[in-house]
Chain A
Amino acid sequence: MTVAADAPPASPPRDDKRWRQVDVRIRRLGARPDALIEVLHTVQEVFGYLDDDALSYVSEALGVPPSRVLGVATFYSHFVRKPQGEHTCVVCMGTACYINGAGAILNRIHDTLGIDAGGTTPDGRISLLRARCLGACSMAPAVVVDDEVHGRISPDGVQQMLEAL
Chain B
Amino acid sequence: MTEAGTPTPARRRRQEPLIPDGPVRASAHVCMAAGCLSMQADTVFDSLCERVTARGLTDVAVKRVGCLGLCAAGPLVAVPEKGRIYDHVAAGDEAALDGVVDGLAGGEGGRPTATDPFFSHQVKVVLEHCGRIDPERVEDYVAVGGYESLTKAVTTMSPAEVLGEVTRSGIRGRGGAGYPTGLKWTTVAKTDSPHGKYVVCNGDEGDPGAFMDRSVLESSPQQVLEGMAIAGYAVGANQGYVYVRAEYPLAVKRLTTAIRQAEHAGLLGPRIADTSFGFDVEIRIGAGAFVCGEETALIASIEGGRGTPRPRPPYPAASGLWGKPTLINNVETLASIPAIIGRGAEWYSAIGSGKSLGTKVFALAGAVVNTGLIEVPLGLTLREIVFDIGGGLPGGGKFKAVQTGGPSGGCMPESLLDMSVDYESLAQAGSIMGSGGMIVMDQGTCMVDVAKFFMDFCREESCGKCVPCRVGTTQMYRLLDRITRGLASRDELAELESLAGMVRDTSLCGLGQGSPNPVFSTLRYFRDEYMAHIDDRVCPAGVCKMEPREAAVAAGEGGR
Partners in one complex: yes
Interfacial residues, chain A to chain B (CB-CB below 8 A): 18, 32-38, 40-41, 44-48, 64, 68, 71-72, 75-79, 84, 86-88, 93-96, 98-100, 131-140, 146-151
For A77, what are the chain B residues with a Cβ–Cβ distance below 8 Å? 287-289
State in angstroms the CA–CA spacing of A47 and B457 once bound together.
Answer: 29
Is B211's CB under 8 angstroms from A137's CB?
A: yes
For A132, what are the chain B residues with a Cβ–Cβ distance below 8 Å? 206, 208, 247, 288, 290, 457, 461
Is B287's CB under 8 angstroms from A78's CB?
A: yes
Is A95's CB under 8 angstroms from B34's CB?
A: no
For B372, what are the chain A residues with a Cβ–Cβ distance below 8 Å? 138
For B205, what are the chain A residues with a Cβ–Cβ distance below 8 Å? 135
State in angstroms the CA–CA spacing of A68 and B2 once bound together.
Answer: 25
Choose among B72, B248, B303, B306 the residue that contacts A71 (Cβ–Cβ < 8 A): B306
State in angstroms the CA–CA spacing of A87 and B208 once bound together.
Answer: 25
State in angstroms the CA–CA spacing of A132 and B72 once bound together.
Answer: 21
Choose among B286, B304, B453 the residue that contacts A35 (Cβ–Cβ < 8 A): B304
State in angstroms the CA–CA spacing of A164 and B71 once bound together.
Answer: 28
Is B35's CB under 8 angstroms from A78's CB?
A: no
Contacts known (A99-B367, A150-B38); A137 close to B306, Cβ less than 8 A: no
Is A78's CB under 8 angstroms from B210's CB?
A: no
Choose among A41, A48, A86, A136 the residue that contacts B285 (Cβ–Cβ < 8 A): A41
Chain B residue nearest to A100 (CB atoms) is: B366
Chain A residue nearest to B290 (CB atoms) is: A132
State in angstroms the CA–CA spacing of A47 and B305 once bound together.
Answer: 22
Nearest-neighbour CB distance to chain A for B242, whole angstroms, equals 13
Nearest-neighbour CB distance to chain B for A27, whole angstroms, equals 16
Contacts known (A41-B287, A96-B366, A138-B72); A149 close to B6, Cβ less than 8 A: no
Chain B residue nearest to A40 (CB atoms) is: B287
By CB atoms of chain A within 10 A, which of B211, B287, B303, B363 has the most?
B287
Interface residues on B, range: 35 or more
Choose among A40, A71, A93, A138 the residue that contacts B208 (Cβ–Cβ < 8 A): A93
For B288, what are the chain A residues with a Cβ–Cβ distance below 8 Å? 76-79, 132
State in angstroms the CA–CA spacing of A96 and B403 once bound together.
Answer: 10
Q: Does B512 contact A (CB under 8 A)?
A: no
Choose among B206, B364, B403 the residue that contacts A133 (Cβ–Cβ < 8 A): B206
Nearest-neighbour CB distance to chain B for A157, whole angstroms, equals 14
Is A68's CB under 8 angstroms from B305's CB?
A: yes
Nearest-neighbour CB distance to chain A for B20, whole angstroms, equals 33
Contacts known (A138-B72, A140-B366, A151-B39); A133 close to B209, Cβ less than 8 A: yes
Contact with A along B1-33 (1 / 0, CB 8 A): 111111000000000000000000000000000
Choose among A36, A41, A86, A93 the residue that contacts B6 (Cβ–Cβ < 8 A): A86
Q: In chain B, residues 396-435, which have Cβ atoms closer than 8 Å to a Cβ of chain A?
A: 403, 406
State in angstroms the CA–CA spacing of A18 and B367 once bound together.
Answer: 47
Q: Does B302 contact A (CB under 8 A)?
A: yes
Q: Does B113 contact A (CB under 8 A)?
A: no
State in angstroms the CA–CA spacing of A71 and B364 once bound together.
Answer: 37
Q: Does B42 contact A (CB under 8 A)?
A: no
Nearest-neighbour CB distance to chain A for B259, whole angstroms, equals 15
For A18, what are the chain B residues with a Cβ–Cβ distance below 8 Å? 4
Q: Does B246 contact A (CB under 8 A)?
A: yes
State in angstroms the CA–CA spacing of A18 and B305 once bound together.
Answer: 25
Is A95's CB under 8 angstroms from B71's CB?
A: no
Choose among B5, B290, B304, B366 the residue that contacts A36 (Cβ–Cβ < 8 A): B304
Q: Does B371 contact A (CB under 8 A)?
A: yes
For B320, what are the chain A residues with a Cβ–Cβ distance below 8 Å? none
Choose among B39, B302, B365 the residue that contacts A34 (Cβ–Cβ < 8 A): B302
8 A–B contact pairs at CB < 8 A? A41-B246, A76-B287, A76-B307, A79-B288, A96-B439, A132-B288, A132-B457, A135-B205
For A151, what are the chain B residues with a Cβ–Cβ distance below 8 Å? 35, 38-39
For A139, what are the chain B residues with a Cβ–Cβ distance below 8 Å? 35, 38, 71, 371
Is B287's CB under 8 angstroms from A79's CB?
A: yes
By CB atoms of chain B within 10 A, which of A33, A40, A48, A132 has the most?
A132
State in angstroms the CA–CA spacing of A38 and B304 once bound together.
Answer: 8
Nearest-neighbour CB distance to chain B for A139, whole angstroms, equals 6
Choose among A68, A98, A138 the residue that contacts B453 (Cβ–Cβ < 8 A): A98
Chain A residue nearest to B245 (CB atoms) is: A135
Q: In chain B, residues 36-62, which have Cβ atoms closer than 8 Å to a Cβ of chain A?
A: 37-39
Contact with A along B438-470 (1 / 0, CB 8 A): 010100010000100110010001010000000
Q: Does B214 contact A (CB under 8 A)?
A: yes
Chain B residue nearest to A32 (CB atoms) is: B304
Is A95's CB under 8 angstroms from B206's CB?
A: no
For A93, what are the chain B residues with a Cβ–Cβ distance below 8 Å? 208
Q: Does B301 contact A (CB under 8 A)?
A: yes
Is A86's CB under 8 angstroms from B305's CB?
A: no
Q: In chain B, residues 209-232, which have Cβ atoms closer than 8 Å to a Cβ of chain A?
A: 209-211, 214
